Amino acid sequence: MIHPAMRAYQAVSETAISGRDADAACFRLLLIELEKARDSTDPAVRSAALDKHQQMWGLIMKANISETGAATPLEDRELFIRLADQAQRYGIKLLVDPSLSFDPLIDIAQNVLEGLETASVTESDMSYGIL
């Protein structure tokens, strides 16, 4: 007889997504928020999107600054830190100057998402012996 907790764990683990897939999902959601803010004249929508943007990039920067990110190559960690810095700086400019475009933030998020999706497909192909 399987313990109910073990059965629950097995059910969840079978449907769990990888870390890279979770990161991609976060960037998809961020893109939706940024595009909504770009297309809206409501300052509350703009402010909420920028708040989420700044929080997400802050988490990315924190994760890549700490030594616990040692599983990620230093070169990649430095790249993420630079991207986070640039995205946050521009986000601050947007907070101060509403006439600026959201397009640079959307472009950065889209590029990261495409990289995550490409890497996810490659990893998936490798796990099935396709590559």
All structural domains of the chain with their residue ranges: 18-127
Q: Write down the pTM of the prediction.
A: 0.75
Task: Quick: pLDDT tens for 19-78.
Answer: 778 888 999 999 999 999 999 999 999 999 999 999 999 988 888 887 664 577 888 888
Q: How far apart (Å, rounded) are the C-alpha atoms in residues 77 and 129?
A: 28
Q: How many residues does this entry show for the chain?
A: 131
Higher pLDDT, 7 or 70: 7
- Residue 17, pLDDT > 70, answer no
pLDDT of residue 15: 65
Task: Quick: pLDDT tens for 32-49.
Answer: 999 999 999 999 999 999
Higher pLDDT, 15 or 47: 47
Helix axes 43-65, 19-39, angle to 10 degrees: 150
Over the chain, what is the mean pLDDT? Answer: 83
